[in-house]
Amino acid sequence: MTVEELIIEGKKYVHSTHAKMILADILGVGTLELLTILDQKVDDNCVLLYQQKIQKLMENKPIQYVIGNVNFYGYSFLVDENVLIPRFETEELVENTLSYIEKLFDHRDLKVIDLGCGSGCIGITLKKKIPSLNVTLLDISPLALEVAKKNANNLGVSVSFIEGDMLENIHEKFDVIISNPPYLCDLEKIDPLVSQNEPPLALYGGEDGLDYYRKIFLKALSCVSASFLIALEIGEDQREAIVTLAKTTLPTATIEAKKDLQGRDRMIFIFQK
């Protein structure tokens, strides 16, 4: 079959954009490049793989898992059902954190820990942007850490890995703590595409969605340097509750909430110079 025939075939079952994304990924080209090779013959193995991936998409699997990677901050990260699919809001968390690091710290050999790292997209991206950072990726899931290790290797960065539950067994101090923890309430209704595919461990944060923030703040003071930054992604209705938690455990720190590009409260930054 040719590229054009496969696109036409795929469009019968899934959205045209997704059909092109899957084929482009299999062939190792950009989606726009497909238009320049419409007459190119595709070998039988690639045709079979394409058909299998179209079938997975028809079975209500996220396109990111079907393809197996996602673009985050300009870098390609492997993703599978063991890790959360990175969102645009998390890119904004990284963008703002880079600005805070620039503003708060004079040196760049800072110790950074990414809690609940999943695919490693946050910590690895920070390391790519500021190579002198000493980055540790932590997750409670060994399967998630395997994905993060592959991403670190593929993107050519040297980072450390810890299997653990937030700061529970951390006995060293960090200059920067960053996290996109699970923050959905246990009974919260969400898109079935998410709830039926992405790992519950990475989504739900207890009855009120705040369990993991409590875990972080419980040990934060003993795990940060004299000058520190804590950068957190939050649910859009959680700002007041998380600010209250932060004030209780870090009363002398400055606390700033940031909105995302949609105007929603989605980030909190806690710092002390």
Say how far apart CA 229 and CA 247 lie, in whole Å: 14
Identify the pLDDT of residue 107: 79
Sole residue written with tokens 């007459």: 39
Say how far apart CA 41 and CA 203 lie, in whole Å: 42
Same domain flag for 142 and 204:
yes
Say how far apart CA 71 and CA 14 lie, in whole Å: 21
Pick from 207, 245, 224, 23: nearest CA to 110: 224
Sole residue written with tokens 């070998």: 43
Domain that holds residue 261: 80-272
CATH of the domain at 140: 3.40.50.150
Q: Are strands 134-139 and 111-115 parallel, antiparallel or unpaired?
A: parallel
Same domain flag for 105 and 151:
yes
DSSP 86: P
pTM above 0.85, yes or no: yes
Residue 209: inside a domain, yes or no? yes
Q: Per residue of the chain (273 residues), what is the pLDDT tens digit?
A: 999 999 999 999 999 999 999 999 999 999 999 999 999 999 999 999 999 999 999 999 999 999 999 999 999 999 999 999 999 999 999 999 999 999 999 877 899 999 999 999 999 999 999 999 999 999 999 999 999 999 999 999 999 999 999 999 899 999 999 999 999 999 999 999 999 999 999 999 999 999 999 999 999 999 999 999 999 999 999 999 999 999 999 999 999 999 999 999 999 999 998
Residue 164: inside a domain, yes or no? yes
Number of domains in the chain: 2
Say how far apart CA 228 and CA 105 lie, in whole Å: 9
Pick from 77, 74, 65, 4: nearest CA to 36: 4
Cβ atoms within 10 Å, residue 165: 14
Same domain flag for 88 and 53:
no
Same domain flag for 54 and 87:
no
Q: Are strands 75-78 and 134-139 parallel, antiparallel or unpaired?
A: unpaired
Sole residue written with tokens 């461990």: 201
Say how far apart CA 181 and CA 204 lie, in whole Å: 9
Q: Are 46 and 27 in contact (CB under 8 A)?
A: yes
